[in-house]
Chains A and B, each alone.
Chain A
Amino acid sequence: MTLFLLRRLLQTAQVLFIMSLLVFVGVYAVGNPLDMLVDPQATAADTARVAAALGLDQPLWVQYWRFLGNALQGDLGNSFLHGTPALQLIVQRLPATLELAVSALLIAVLLGIPLGLWAGLRPDSFGGRTIMAGSILGFSLPTFWVGLMLIMVFSVHLGWLPSGGRGPTREFLGLEWSLLAPGGWRYLLLPALNLALFKLALVIRLTQSGTREALLQDYVRFARAKGLPPHRVVGVHVLKNIMIPVVTVVGLEFGTLIAFSVVTESIFAWPGIGKLLLDSINQLDRPVVVAYLLLIVFIYTLISLVVDLLYAALDPRVRLAGGQTA
């Protein structure tokens, strides 16, 4: 267990290092931010002074070395545009994205598991078929298009919900929350639903196929033969066994949710890190882009570690041996 943890942490560090190198070289190889930052009428001396102040006059490897040294101390550089630490900019907006992503995940799980169970228990019924057909749609529809349709129907046509923005928030534990503010959920609902749709389809399909498989297993037949009531067979014996793949996938997909929030946030004008990334890309704000990417990589590797640990907790057959790698 300790060995496993150590190995995984070492791997995480490796991936982070490689990614930082790739991202740094990549981001720094294109576009000269000085064009954006310095007034076109500035003299060459002025431009050089700005370049020196930002460290842009140094050779690339010096810049990287400095970046790496600072990064190890938690400093990912200052935003060229805002002048504040890039990490701070991101961390300020992270709660909005996390609230969106967690809400989407909850929608996907709380709707997806019952729907998937229904479809798995009655695969040939009309309801079961409809659910499965719907899940195929959920897979193939592009997120941004669904977002537009949600806005068109619920905001423009019916006028029930606002079409964008975060709306009122309330402070709790030092962070702003939409769900705690009166009426805040109205702003959260459409974006969360939009972001959830793909995962919802995934959870439905996983649960459905898991249920169908589990129903054929000996332990379910035995439980039935023992005379257990159906709700107990399904609720305990079936559900417990299909939770393993569901937890794995849902956990791993949480990172994808954060990545895909770029699309949803830009459609619904949700002030999270996805929108910040798009703005920073357009404005060549390198430090913010680098910081965002490294943070995402970090979140990703962290999630896969947590999922592996959860996996072992749910399934006693899985042993966290030192030798296994992903």
Chain B
Amino acid sequence: MTASASSAISASHPSAGGWRTLIRAYATSPLALAGLVLLLVIVTAALAAPWIAPQDPYDLSQLDIMDSRLPPGSTSADGSLHYLLGTDGQGRDMLSAILYGLRISVAVGFSATLLALALGMSLGLVAGYAGGRIDAFVMRAVDIQMSFPAILTAMILLALFGQGTDKIVIALVASQWAYYARTTRSAALVEGRREYIEAARLLGLSTPRILFRHLLPNCLPPLIVVAALQVAAAIALEATLSFLGLGLPVTEPSLGLLISNGFQYLYSGRYWMSVFPGVALLLTIVALNLVADRLREILNPRLQPQ
């Protein structure tokens, strides 16, 4: 019964036409479009890794130790494979290793961001809407969290928990939730005083319903921008931690671990083992940043012509 009333009230978030305008605004920047295309290619390649990679880099029966440390463009000893990007110390095709590594890096980056977003957003919404003591408590925690660099928080947690995919996701969430909490809270403070929230309250809607159906959609634009930037930060942070040997275990080599493994060969001039995974990491981060930058431009009301 209240459904029709509430849908009329919460009509201020973008409708189908609104999304079309946004997409058109996004497409006016060729650089941002290129970033988006690059990002789509990377994500597709990461998802499709098991099907498009020349070999399964972690199936030991497919590796040939005779093929180790081959420079880019070599052919395998039995002539069956062409190593486009060379091989590593165990005769693993670098291209395949990079595709599988990309898969892990992208999965960790995106899942950590989504979890941090969910956690930070909920806390921020509650803090901004409830105010008072809850607000003070949450924001104090945010302040303390944000006064330490993300890498330090993540390093401490990983030092405590040890290695593992789940653990690095927890560490990334713990070091990033505060950004979302702060952003959501400030948006919720502004939006919470609007008439439609008061109307929803007068209609007797439940608090969770007001928070998530009415307040949240209107707090989303700044959150999307922060999230886009934080995915890149999460991927870079995971790579750094894995490079330091604190992140993912050797059985799940992300790009950071591949770079770390190739590091020892760098001194002897075998650059491809660390440079190519690095380029893949770099392209991912740059593509995400380009997309995030454009989103910030089109979602920022202050930059929009009235």
Contacts and interface: CB of A to CB of B under 8 A. Distances in A.
A266 interface: yes
A142 interface: yes
B278 A148 contact: yes
B240 A143 contact: yes
A23 B281 contact: no
A304 B278 contact: no
Interface string B236-263: 1001100111100000000010010001
B52 to A, nearest CB: 25
A231 B269 CA distance: 48
B130 interface: no
Contacts of B285: 140-142
A259 B149 CA distance: 7
A65 to B, nearest CB: 21
Contacts of B155: 262, 277, 281
A136 B289 contact: yes
A158 interface: no
Given A27-B160, A142-B285, A143-B240, A255 B149 contact: yes
Interface stretch (B9-17, B39-47, B76-84, B140-148): B140-148
Contact of A266 (B156, B160, B244): B244
Contacts of B259: 144-145, 148
B267 interface: yes
A145 B284 CA distance: 14
B217 interface: no
B140 to A, nearest CB: 10
Contact of B160 (A18, A30, A136): A30
Given A15-B144, A18-B144, A29-B160, A262 B244 contact: yes
A300 interface: yes
A256 B160 contact: no
A78 B128 CA distance: 45
Given A136-B289, A144-B240, A163-B267, A263 B151 contact: yes
A296 B274 contact: no
A321 interface: no
The winner among A30, A145, A262, A289 for most chain B CB atoms within 10 A is: A145
Q: Main SS of the interface on chain B?
A: helix
B46 to A, nearest CB: 18
B285 to A, nearest CB: 5
Interface string A294-315: 0011001100100000000000
B118 to A, nearest CB: 23
Contact of B239 (A139, A142, A293, A300): A142
B8 interface: no
Interface residues of B, number: 36
Contacts of B239: 142, 144-145
B266 interface: yes
Given A30-B161, A278-B244, A145 B281 contact: yes
Contacts of B131: none
B286 A151 contact: no
Contact of A23 (B144, B149, B156, B246): B156
The winner among B245, B266, B281 for most chain A CB atoms within 10 A is: B266
Interface string B187-220: 0000000000000000000000000000000000
B143 A148 contact: no
A144 B243 contact: yes
A151 B240 CA distance: 17
Contacts of B274: 148
Interface string B271-306: 100110010011001100100000000000000000
A260 interface: yes
A152 interface: yes
Interface string A243-266: 000000000000110011011001
B240 A259 contact: no
Contacts of B147: 300-301, 304
B159 interface: yes
Contact of A256 (B149, B244, B289): B149
Nearest to B233: A140
Nearest to A137: B286
Contacts of B143: 326
Interface string B117-153: 0000000000000000000000000011001110110
A156 interface: yes
9 smallest beta-carbon distances between A and B, as pairs? A281-B159, A142-B236, A259-B152, A256-B149, A259-B149, A30-B160, A144-B243, A140-B285, A140-B289
Interface of A: 15, 18, 23, 26-27, 29-31, 136-137, 139-145, 148-149, 151-152, 155-157, 163, 255-256, 259-260, 262-263, 266-267, 277-278, 281-282, 289, 293, 296-297, 300-301, 304, 326
Given A140-B232, A142-B239, A263-B240, 6 more contacts: A15-B144, A27-B159, A27-B160, A149-B278, A260-B151, A300-B148
